[in-house]
Structure 1
Amino acid sequence: MNDPRTFDANATGTTPFGDLPEWDLTDLYPAPDSKEIKRDQDWLEDACRSFATDYEGKLAGLDADGLLEAVKRYEQIDIIAGRIMSYAGLRYYQHTTDPERAKFMSDMQDKITTYTTPLVFYGLEFNRLDDAHIEALLAANADLARYKPVFDRMRAMKPYQLSDELEKFLHDQSVVGSAAWNKLFDETIAGLKFTVNGDELNIEGTLNLLSEQDRSTREAASRELARVFGENVGLFARVHNTLAKEKEVEDRWRGLPTPQTGRHLSNHVEPEVVEALRNAVVDAYPRLSHRYYALKAKWMGLETMEVWDRNAPLPMEADRTVPWDEAQQTVMDAYAAFDPRMADLAKPFFTDGWIDAGVKDGKAPGAFAHPTVTTVHPYVMLNYLGKPRDVMTLAHELGHGVHQVLAAEQGELLSSTPLTLAETASVFGEMLTFRKLLDQAKDATERKVLLAGKVEDMINTVVRQIAFYDFECKLHAARAQGELTPDDINALWMSVQGESLGPVFNFMDGYETFWAYIPHFVHSPFYVYAYAFGDGLVNALYAVFEEQGEAFKDKYFDMLKAGGSKHHSELLAPFGLDASDPAFWAKGLSMIEGMIDELEAME
């Protein structure tokens, strides 16, 4: 039977939800064999070589103007390398099982790694400069002082850097290390096939069935996911064992005190802030997820909920498909209602080929917004299947896109936002869309469905992600003691599930393997707490918006424009917020509690 979730990768974009947009990547390059790509590769190879010739062993002798020139040359190299890899990566994610696209991406990765090896000296040599010397240079040149946040992040790694020779080796070796295991994971996941009720589906189509109204369909999808994950669990365990061990070896050589330290440093966030967030959320499990899911079980007429009921629509929820045009209008209206500037920034995503929305054979699962480079523009990837949650995903990824467009004004080296703040605009975009829909609710039933959907999204963003973080912490700690069998990893996964979801859940046989498909564990260890950070931050920000109204908006846009040029404490200060204060996280979590209170009061 033909299923809309597996239409051909080269289809025109016509689906049951309307014509879905596809990427136009020509803003990056006209084609993989274009003269423009060859030109940029040749330029990059020469620029990296000449940079090393001009500066290796000479950074200490540069004056402020000379260092500024070096930084600008390095930034231009970053732009060209990023442009090439963005193009290769976006083509690959459109169709990860296409050998030509996989080869092109690998070849580009290999070449750029080789070209940029001569640059490894730069960060190492810079970190050997005396603090007072750097401060004097920054004081002498205001344009150079702009880059202080970049230098601060580089110097945060100073205690953990290795010899120049070892750093070059790690740089060269990365393409056959973590990058290769990442690619194996991506291609394996994209190539998995699931048969549910006679239909052959990819992973995205199968996961989508977990939010179907029909309970038997949800159960069939869950059991099929468990079956296929179970068949492949050995390979996924090998990926996790290898990556966790590789990380442990590198961390040990660098002297990083914990497996999480590298992520905290790259996020420019203090470990105690993350710990305060984690503890506040775990402490709130009974008041949030346990209480909500008990309420949901009651609505569904169930004594015990199964894992396939977690994301089920409510019994009173209309089982309808949201056409793409309606999803676009909903999000754009919500953005415009907040501030017309936000809608103007979002518009080109729809009109200029910046979104790839359809589910296609071999396409990477999930959704993301990729900033590419500051001289081009972001691209958004979705797997749109017409669910109400897909509308929220569109609002989320567009928020990232708007943030990335605004932050691009900072230039390549300062635009990138730490993960902790990278989720701010995305979650805020979701909140705007939710509030707009809530204001338009026609009756108590529709309000209840919207509130319940938002609470579930917040639980998925806050509770689930902190449970994921705890799983990763346990996984890396256990791997440091020795090789982990699939059963070992399964047990670690289950150790956080009941605690986070609550006593109302029964966990089917096979659910213990569901860690296997989550890409963040593979691509970005300990990334997941950024979602909870972002959600808590946005809840607190939205409360400030409700208090301040118009006065909030310019401050909000200024925060997004800042990109990675300021620490989270500086960015939050204008709003009177402080992420190091446990009360900050309590404020964000109380918003979720308030929604559950309202749902309980409706009973």
Structure 2
Amino acid sequence: MQHPLRQTWDLDSLFPGGSESPQFARFLDDISARLETFRQELAGAGKPVTAEEAESLSGLVETLQHLMGDLMQADSFTACLAAENQDDKRAVQLGGKVKSLNAEFHSALTRFDSLLLAIPDRVWEGLLHQERWRPVAFALNERRMDGKEKLPPEQEALVSALAVDGYHGWGELYDTTVSQVRIPHETKDGVVLLSAGQASNKLHSPDRAERSALFDSWEASWENYEDFCADALNHLGGFRLQLYKQRGWDSVLKEPLSINRMSAKTLNVMWEVIDRNKDVFVRYMNRKAELLGVERLAWHDVEAPIGSADLTFTYDEGAKIIVQQFRRFSPKMADFAEMAFEKGWIEAEDRPGKRPGGFCTSFPVSEETRIFMTYGGTADNVSTLAHELGHGFHQHVMTDLPVLSQNYAMNVAETASTFAEMVVSDAAVRQAEDASQKLALLDDKIQRSIAFFMNIHARFLFETRFYEERKKGIVGADQLSELMVEAQREAYRDALSEYHPHFWASKLHFYITDVPFYNFPYTFGYLFSAGIYAFAEKEGSGFEDRYIALLRDTGRMTVEELALKHLGVNLEQPEFWQQAVDLAVRDVEQFIEMTNG
């Protein structure tokens, strides 16, 4: 790679001119025109379909996939524009237009689904066994089965149309609210106002006094905006509950489990295994408290660095580490990372005005990805960068598949990203020569276990209980904070001295409208990737092709089928999950051994 690497992404190669791009405006107009044609072609959907008529479906499926790919391209572009500059009002307007087009598309999809439902079962089974349909058979059959459990097409179409300014509108209001949040931070030069993203990075400071002061300021700032956030969360939850009620769905987990193509049994077994092993991680937190010189960790101490407090990495150093470690396991993954760095696919610059957090988004028409984060030089930042590159590699190995077969769920998406993160962090710990650095890297690695086993569990518990309360009526900000602390106490086994009451307000994931319960898939991905990593350790570089084959199947089978086919394991039984947790337990045991005496 050539150095120094650029830290801002290239969006002009996709559509030059940013939010004022004429090419992007024409792209949206073209989508709109083709979408209208698609809707007209589906005008008669719902009538009984003969075997001869069913044979002519291929043209509609082709149109559907092209529209789906184009809309993903448009949605990704507007998301990138809004993330890089939260003051870009034109980007917000374009995002709204794309959401409207998506709503129209989903309305048309309900008619397409009714067409699938109108095909007799015998004819349908015959179609799926034809060679031309096999590449998209899983996705089409999934749509047909899901369609049987939803409202009539006209009602589902109305829901999609109303959701643009209702359901999705509340999510956008939250984004606007976050863009206004400023957290006061005391520095040697006086008080500065940090964006949410900048403040989040500084909560990892090695200086406990600085962390504590900033955390107090962080909590107070979110409290100032709690009513706006509470309104958004309540109306998002209320919309979902009303829709589920109309569809006749009893459980709020039905939709997220279906989206993630996993069974309730798999989810329950995973949490049960984690819960049985939490004592080990409480031991880690107690030992870390001793090392920090406090009786018990506060919320802001959990991710505080241990060991080399000055362990930082320039962007170029972080990139070099990632590529080197990827190459030890997968030359193809390393080549992809190099390409992403060199082609300007990554927005990492630390500057005001960016939205908080990180993401990787796909541009299926261009067969590219873009990665967003704010890089501050910490070990955690290097891990985040590796994580997002894992997402990018996942999409990269699927670009030649039909668009319908590229539609993988969040839980397996998090598998690829977390696996990439694990490759980097595990190698870094093993290769560290300085004991203090080794301890710092090991601690950073264990922090991710704490995040997935405890932080994410708290989110899951909070969201589950929030919906139960929301069924009774509006849940006030004070009650939301009480529910949040209650969930955190349970998830962390009450091992902390201080919690984060307004976490429900500060965490974007509760407000994402595309996927409800944007939490447990992270833990699934972490443990599933740990299980995969155990296989990779045994097989070495020979596992690369097997890993890529698994990734390519993520959009065309359930997670239980995926694990059985590629790993030979049953996810509805505890053995696989225990083996995965054991890898994290091993890290804690090493940490405690290194810090004895």
Please classify the TM superposition score into its range, dividing by the shorter chain length: over 0.9
Q: 1:126 to 1:212 in 2, by over 3 A?
A: same
**In the alignment, which of 555, 564, 568 is matched to residue 564 of structure 1?**
555
Percent of paired sites with the same residue = 24
In structure 2, distance between residues paired with 1:120 and 1:46: 19
1:436 aligns with 2:422: no
Correspondence 1:467-486 to 2 at 5 A: 467-486=458-477
CA displacement 1:281-338 (0-9 Å, x = unmatched): 22322222x1110110111122122222111111x32324310000000000011111
**In the alignment, which of 239, 244, 249 is matched to residue 251 of structure 1?**
244
Letter in 2 for 1:201: L
1:275 aligns with 2:265: no
CA displacement 1:432-476 (0-9 Å, x = unmatched): 111221232114333222222111112112321122111110111
Q: TM-score of the superposition, structure 1-length normalised?
A: 0.92
Correspondence 1:512-531 to 2 at 5 A: 512-523=501-512, 524-531=515-522
- How many residues get paired? 582
1:24 aligns with 2:10: yes
**In the alignment, which of 80, 83, 90 is matched to residue 100 of structure 1?**
90
1:596, distance to aligned residue in structure 2 (A): 1.1
Q: 1:266 to 1:128 in 2, by over 3 A?
A: farther
Match of 2:363 in 1: 372
Match of 1:37 in 2: 24
Match of 1:452 in 2: 443
Alignment partner of 2:371: what SS? strand
Q: 1:28 to 1:541 in 2, by over 3 A?
A: same
**In the alignment, which of 115, 120, 124 is matched to residue 110 of structure 2?**
120
1:249, distance to aligned residue in structure 2 (A): 0.3
Retained in 2: the 8 A contact 1:421–1:534? yes
1:484, distance to aligned residue in structure 2 (A): 0.7
**In the alignment, which of 321, 329, 346 is matched to residue 355 of structure 1?**
346
Match of 2:99 in 1: 109
**Segment drifting more, 356-365 vs 346-355:** 356-365
Retained in 2: the 8 A contact 1:44–1:115? no
1:162 aligns with 2:151: yes
Letter in 1 for 2:465: K
1:65, distance to aligned residue in structure 2 (A): 4.2
**In the alignment, which of 281, 296, 309 is matched to residue 304 of structure 1?**
296
In structure 2, distance between residues paired with 1:33 and 1:444: 52
Match of 1:597 in 2: 589
**Segment drifting more, 393-402 vs 416-425:** 416-425
Q: 1:310 to 1:142 in 2, by over 3 A?
A: same
**In the alignment, which of 570, 573, 580 is matched to residue 588 of structure 1?**
580
Match of 2:277 in 1: 284
Alignment partner of 2:193: what SS? strand
Retained in 1: the 8 A contact 2:72–2:362? no
Q: TM-score of the superposition, structure 2-length normalised?
A: 0.93
Letter in 1 for 2:283: R
Q: 1:527 to 1:132 in 2, by over 3 A?
A: farther
Alignment partner of 2:502: what SS? helix
Q: 1:156 to 1:360 in 2, by over 3 A?
A: farther
Letter in 1 for 2:424: T
Q: 1:35 to 1:206 in 2, by over 3 A?
A: closer
Retained in 2: the 8 A contact 1:204–1:359? no
Alignment partner of 1:256: what SS? coil
CA displacement 1:243-282 (0-9 Å, x = unmatched): 1111000010011221111011111111111111122222
User: RMSD across aligned C-alpha pairs, in angstroms?
Assistant: 2.0
Q: 1:162 to 1:201 in 2, by over 3 A?
A: same
Q: 1:401 to 1:115 in 2, by over 3 A?
A: closer
Letter in 2 for 1:48: L
Retained in 2: the 8 A contact 1:374–1:411? no
Alignment partner of 2:132: what SS? helix
Match of 2:176 in 1: 187
Retained in 2: the 8 A contact 1:150–1:414? yes
